[in-house]
Amino acid sequence: MADPVFERGLEIRRSMFGAETTDAQVNARDEFTDDLQDLVTRYCFGSVWAREELPLNLRSMLTVAMVLASGRDSELKLHIRGAIANGVTRTELRELLLQSIMYCGFPAAVGGFRAARQVFDEIDRGEGPPDPTR
């Protein structure tokens, strides 16, 4: 039986991170990670990200800022790429990162710039989904 919330979550994840990446994570789930993948897909993306009160590009900018502020460097590149897929421009990301200096400190912002540069370079080399804002 199809679950529309889960399916909407998959749709959003695929549009942000690419179908190949999303499907690899979802299909690789096992007894240990099954609940995690269900929560991420159903609740994070299918329930919260799918809400219409904020557009996806704004949700992405907020997420990049929160991931940066919390020092979750391993997730930062992923969400920068997702933000680009949701239409956040490189200029907007630069401004977000500059703003983060005031509230997160220079080390976090420098790490954010480094992560963004890596994502931009990957996209420019044709790795992963393209930048729809270019």
Position 105 pLDDT exceeds 70: yes
Phi and psi at residue 97, to the nearest 5°: -70, -40
Tell me, what's the pLDDT at 1? Answer: 62
Q: Architecture of 56-124 per CATH? A: Up-down Bundle (1.20)
Q: CATH 1.20.1290.10 spans which residues of the chain? A: 56-124
Determine contact, residues 63/83, Cβ cutoff 8 Å. yes
Q: Which residue has better confidence, 40 or 73?
A: 40
**Among 69-73, 101-105, 112-116, where is mean pLDDT lowest?**
69-73
Specify the pTM.
Answer: 0.91
